[in-house]
Each structure stands twice: as structure tokens, then as C-alpha cells.
Amino acid sequence: MPRLHTHTYATTVTWTGNLGTGTSGYRDYRRDHDITTAGRPPIPGSSDPTFRGDPTRWNPEQLLLAALSQCHMLAYLHLCADHGIVVTDYVDHATGTMTTDHTGNGHFTEAVLHPRVTVADPDTTDTATALHDQAHHLCFIANSVNFPVHHQPTTTADPPADTPDHP
């Protein structure tokens, strides 16, 4: 029987939005907080501006989407390295959809990753694109959410500078 490995993570969320009267009223406090873990710089957090949050700070919905995108990218780069595909650039403009009902309760209904990948060898673009399916199944975060995570990748090739295409 294969041995399972358990990974444990710890973060600290510290509310920094007390304006002096705590949560004495809905408009009497800020939603600001800091997300920290040992040895890392803090991440400034707040709620979505719709819920009286600070738009200059990261909200939980953005962080969830970023975690999905980041996890997919890391799994994908691993697979490309294993398959001998040289990735020279990777950018993902991920989107997520959340719905709320009349009571304010809500949930994500989907996330769509839009990775734009550049590979060094034009002959590897098809395999590079196909590896997104496998990366999706390897992504720990995508495997942990209860909504669909789709991916719509674009793969292009950028031959090295010493080829006839790049004088």
C-alpha cells in the first residue's frame, strides 16, 4: 500500500481594522488584516470592496483564485521539465465567478485559468498544450475545491535568437 505523506501548513491572520470601537457597528470598523507566516513578508488583506473592503488589499476571493493559478502553473512547469519542454514565459490571467443570494451567502461557481505559455521549440507546442490536462489533475488546490476549474491555454513558440526567424 502506498505511503501517504501529510503536509501541514500554518498561517496567521491578524485583524488590523479596529478604529477604536471594535465591531460596535457595521460601518465602525475596517476589514483590513495581515496574513503572515514565519519568515515571509505579510500579505495585506481585506474584504472585497463590495463588502466594505479596501480595494488596495488582497481579498480572500482573489487569493483563492491566485492559489488555483499558482498551483496549476507549478504543476505544469514540473511536467514540462519532465517532458523536456523548455518554457520561456508563462502568464495566467485567471478569472473566477462567485454568486451570492438575497441573504448575502455565496460560493464560487467556477474558475477559468487562461495560461499563455511560450516554449522554445515550435515542435513542442502541441505536447505543451496537452500537459495542462495532466497539470490540472496534479494541482492540490484544484483537487480541494468544490467547483469546476477550467483551463483555456494558449501556447506559442519563441525560437532562440540565433535562428533565421530572429536575426
Query: Which CATH number fits the domain that encloses residue 105?
Result: 3.30.300.20
108 near 147, Cβ under 8 Å?
yes
Q: Each residue of 37-67: pLDDT tens digit?
A: 999 999 999 999 999 999 999 999 999 999 9
pLDDT at residue 139, as a whole number: 97
H helix or E strand, kind and range, residue 149? strand 149-151
Average pLDDT on 12-37 reads: 97
* pLDDT at position 161 over 80: no
Let me know whether 85 and 146 are in one domain.
Answer: yes
DSSP string, 79-102: HHHHTT--EEEEEE--EEEEEE-T
pLDDT at residue 1, as a whole number: 75
16 near 22, Cβ under 8 Å?
no
Q: Each residue of 92-150: pLDDT tens digit?
A: 999 999 999 999 899 999 999 999 999 999 999 999 999 999 999 999 999 999 999 99
Torsion-angle region of 158 (φ positive above 0: left; ψ -120 to 50: alpha; else: beta): beta
Query: Total structural domains in the chain?
Result: 2
Let me know whether 10 and 87 are in one domain.
Answer: no
Q: Which domain holds residue 149?
A: 60-157
Name the 3-class secondary structure at 5.
Answer: coil
Q: Each residue of 72-96: pLDDT tens digit?
A: 999 999 999 999 999 999 999 999 9
pLDDT at residue 22, as a whole number: 95
